[in-house]
Amino acid sequence: MKEVVEVAIEICDPRARIPAYVRPGDAGMDVSALETVTIKPGQTVIVKTGLKVAIPEGYEIQVRPRSGLSYKSPLRLANAPGTIDAGYRDEIGVIVQNTSLTESYEIKEGDRIAQLVLQRVPEIKWVQVDNVQAIGQNRGGGFGSSGR
């Protein structure tokens, strides 16, 4: 059985849509644009959602791209995955970049623009050591060492 976590949500605008899972078992809930926005070539904008949330302590909501939108358009989420921290109470905005160098792209009011995924966030307690190489096994290599 899947764990269910209650998250308070505030509708800031009557046009806003509460995020929803499209299919049972989906990890992400689709979130929609509050208004129509035209994004010029190379431009990055924040698309409003008309939603505010109060995430429980110990969790975050990740804002991730929708694969269909990424595949079928030049739009990319500039900071994917974005993080909404438990203490953030302002309106959720999705940072969207048009990677086309020649064409503007229009997001229409109500378009599903991203997905939201609730994640548990454990807190880190740093333990300073003299040599991390002595712990576990080093896989070897550096950045890009596993190939393309």
Q: What is the distance between the terminal CA atoms of the chain, rounded to a whole angstrom?
A: 38
For residue 147, pLDDT over 70 is answered with: no
Q: How far is CA 62 from CA 49, 73, 86, 111, 129, in A?
A: 15, 21, 11, 19, 31
Q: Can you say how many angstroms the Cα of residue 20 is from the centroid of all Cα atoms in its chain?
A: 14
CB 90 within 8 A of CB 52: yes
What is the per-residue pLDDT across 37-81, written as a single tens digit (0 to 9) for each? 999 999 999 999 999 999 999 999 999 999 889 999 999 998 889
Domain 9-122 has CATH 2.70.40.10: yes
Residue 90 to residue 48: CA distance in whole angstroms: 11
* pLDDT of 141 above 80: no
Question: What residue segments make up the domains of the chain, in order of their start?
Answer: 9-122
pLDDT of res. 136? 87
pLDDT at 30: 97
